[in-house]
Structure 1
Amino acid sequence: MLNRVRQWIDSWSGPIPVQTISSESKQIQWLRIIPFIILHLACLGIFYVGVSGFAVIFMLLFYLIRMFSITAFFHRYLSHKTFQTSRIVQFVFVLIGTMSAQRGPLWWAAHHRYHHRFTDTEHDPHSSTYGFWYSHLGWFLNDYNFATRKEVVKDWLKYPELVWLDRFSLIIVLLTAVSIYALGEWLAIVYPSLATSGLQLLVWGFVVSTVLLIHATLCINSLAHLYGSRDFETEDQSRNNLFLSIITLGEGWHNNHHYYAGSVRQGFYWWQIDITYYVLRMMSWLGLVWGLKPIPTRVYEVSKIAQSANKVNILIKTKADKSSTGESS
């Protein structure tokens, strides 16, 4: 038990090597679920602290900036390298992403790379074949998926700041919570017209915002492999889902992503909303990121949307030819 608690503080402190863990270790470790339960129960604090417009706005903004950091930097940058950036920008947004309470950045990227390598098979960390609850929650609450798969993210181990964030991600989360509480207390004194307080901002701005953020992200592992359309034939069960795309700033175009993960853009068509991509484009205009990898033309050619359009065009052309032949005769 003491060893598990120590691993909460430093996730690299003696975790069991992944190669030596049996499949039985995919069972949920209930001690590990305690902080997760406490975080959810803390949401009930909204009935004690009340609500203010400022607290709700802060909750939404903190949700959005952290979601962007997860989708753009944990996912499209660390996991797939679909764009480039400076070391400073890399650190700032990875730090913000670490505030999301979704473990460390290298742990996140390593498991996601492993997910793509073995999607919906027994080796997939959150395979949908194990059912909704395992792919949504159970997978990160066991020994099998606790350790950072360092061999999968060797390219990022050269950055000591990223390694530190990965090891001590819980400390970052706790410091974030304390800072938000302190901000609320300061605002209550300096700007009482905002009608907020330390506890109120902690509950709304950190607890509620973080719980929503965690579940929105996890829905891509679970619901995006169950509900939605499939524009591409893939060997997994990935789906495109508009609702999930909205709440995750573009990650819901999951079938697109699993067909071609090498593009910075996941909404392959103009009507597929991808806010993360739009923001990255604006950041590229400012020189903060560059080398955004596009979608190859060949990808569009094999999509069901393109195939359906071709069938319609052929049908129209055939009817036009028949009409023309009939008229000339």
Structure 2
Amino acid sequence: MPSFSTPTPTSRPIARIWTVLRQWFDTAPIEGAGITADHGIDWLRVLPFVALHVACLAVIWVGVSWTAVLVALELYVLRMFAITGFYHRYFAHRAFRTSRAAQLVFAILGASAVQRGPLWWAAHHRHHHKHADTERDPHSPRRGFWWSHMGWFLSRSGFQPDLSAVQDLRRYPELRWLDRFDIAVPIALAAGLFALGLWLQHAAPQLHTSGAQLVVWGFCISTVVLIHVTVTINSLAHKFGTRRYDTRDDSRNNFWLALLTFGEGWHNNHHHFPGAARQGFRWWEIDLTYYGLRLLAACGLIWDLRPVPAGLRRLGRG
């Protein structure tokens, strides 16, 4: 019979490094390492996130071109819409219906934003609404700005959410795959941008771009800006703005955040009635995501957009 010895102090760091390396590519729960209450930053695991920020400095060497800037802007717009329209309003709140094929396409686009998989995103967000601005809220600014902005998803406690909250999504194997291998789509996007840049460098030299330049602008810079703008809804939209509705949390409406996040800044509206496809309740509250959803509905790609009940809308001030 084989004997099993207690791991030596030398073997523990090696096992830890191996575990982290695996989790960079495969986020499936590891036996004996389930959901934890440890709020410390898992620096080893988040090295790729740190590297993404550092890589933006490569702009010093690759330079800038209008081609690269336009690619960065286009990817910001496309991926922000995928996050706000589908990761948030569809996967987290089921604010409309769509086909399984369209669901997969927009899940892939959302995954390219480097905000983990659709199940992870929706599970954390549903938990947030259930416990908004309480001790159980994963990213309340009552714990401090940096925690609500980044600390919560860089911590050990944020790595593995309670997926029992998203049983409706777990029945789709393709969504489970995207969630487990959440780095696959970002790697494919970066590789595609590099290949596109190489081709343009030879096919259209007048554009003054390259593979490295498109990766730095189209992937690194665009993604870093996208991530930080998205999480301002956690860190800023519960601190700055106006409150039309007396919700049980600290949510606020913020015009400037609404512009940057395509409508998510009407956050007090959203917490008043989370299930609506529209977050700008008044005609003057610009909600670019909702306009995009209406366009998709007109094309027959989505349907049954859930409205805001008139009675609930009238309860607010102004």
TM-score range, shorter chain: over 0.9
Equivalences for residues 91-110 of structure 1 within 5 A: 91-110=104-123
Tell me the TM-score normalised to structure 1 length: 0.90
Question: Match of 1:302?
Answer: 315
Q: Percent identity?
A: 50
Cα deviations by residue, 1:109-161 (Å, 9 ceiling, x for unpaired):
00000000000111111122111000001001111111142101000111110
8 Å CA contact 2:245–2:268 kept in 1: the answer is yes
8 A Cα contact 2:62 2:212, kept in partner: yes
Aligned residues: 301
Contact map agreement 1:265 1:277 (CA 8 A) in 2: yes
Letter in structure 1 aligned against 2:260: I
- Correspondence list, 1:131-210, <5 A: 131-210=144-223
| 8 Å contact from structure 1 (residues 6, 13) kept in 2 | no
Q: Give the superposition deviation at 1:32.
A: 2.6
Larger Rg: 1
Find the partner of 1:122 among 135, 146, 165: 135
1:17 maps to which of 34, 54, 62: 34
Question: Any stretches of 5+ residues in structure 1 without a counterpart?
Answer: 306-329
1:17-38 Cα shifts (integer Å, max 9, x gaps) = 22xx23xx01111213322221
Q: Show the counterpart of 2:291.
A: 278
Alignment deviations for residues 273-292 of structure 1 (CA, whole Å, 9 cap, x no partner): 00000010011111010000
Return the alpha-carbon distance in structure 2 between the equivalents of residues 148 and 179 of structure 1: 31
Of 77, 90, 96, the match for 2:103 = 90
Q: In the alignment, which of 20, 42, 47 is matched to residue 4 of structure 1?
A: 20
Contact 1:119 1:127 in 2 (8 A): yes
What CA RMSD, in Å, does the superposition of the two structures yield over aligned residues? 1.0
Q: Which residue does the alignment assign to 1:60?
A: 73
Asked if the contact 2:92–2:122 (Cα under 8 Å) also holds between the matched residues in 1, the reply is yes
* TM-score, scaled relative to structure 2: 0.93
Whether the 8 Å contact between 2:29 and 2:160 is mirrored in structure 1 is no
Output the CA distance in 2 between the equivalents of 1:150 and 1:95: 19
Q: Look up the equivalent residue of 1:200 and give its one-letter code.
A: Q
Query: Gaps (5+ residues) in structure 2?
Result: 1-15
CA distance in 2, matches of 1:250, 1:182: 33
Which of 265, 274, 278 is the aligned partner of 1:261? 274
Q: Distance in 2 between matches of 1:143 and 1:56?
A: 35
Equivalent position amino acid for 1:245 in 2 = A
Cα deviation, 1:297-327, whole Å, max 9, x if unaligned, reads 111221011xxxxxxxxxxxxxxxxxxxxxx
2:235 to 201, 206, 222: 222
Q: Give secondary structure in 2 for the equivalent of 1:266.
A: coil
For 1:36, give the aligned amino acid: F
The answer to whether structure 1 residue 47 and structure 2 residue 60 are counterparts is: yes
Rounded to whole Å, the distance in 1 between the matches of 2:101 and 2:109 is 12
- Aligned-partner residue type, residue 25 of structure 2: I
Q: Could you tell me whether the CA contact under 8 Å between 2:56 and 2:216 is conserved in 1?
A: yes
Q: Distance in 2 between matches of 1:148 and 1:87?
A: 24
**If each structure's helix is expressed as a fraction of its own residues, which one has the higher value?**
1
CA contact (8 A) 1:118 1:124 kept: yes
SS at 2:59 equivalent:
helix
2:232 aligned with 1:237: no
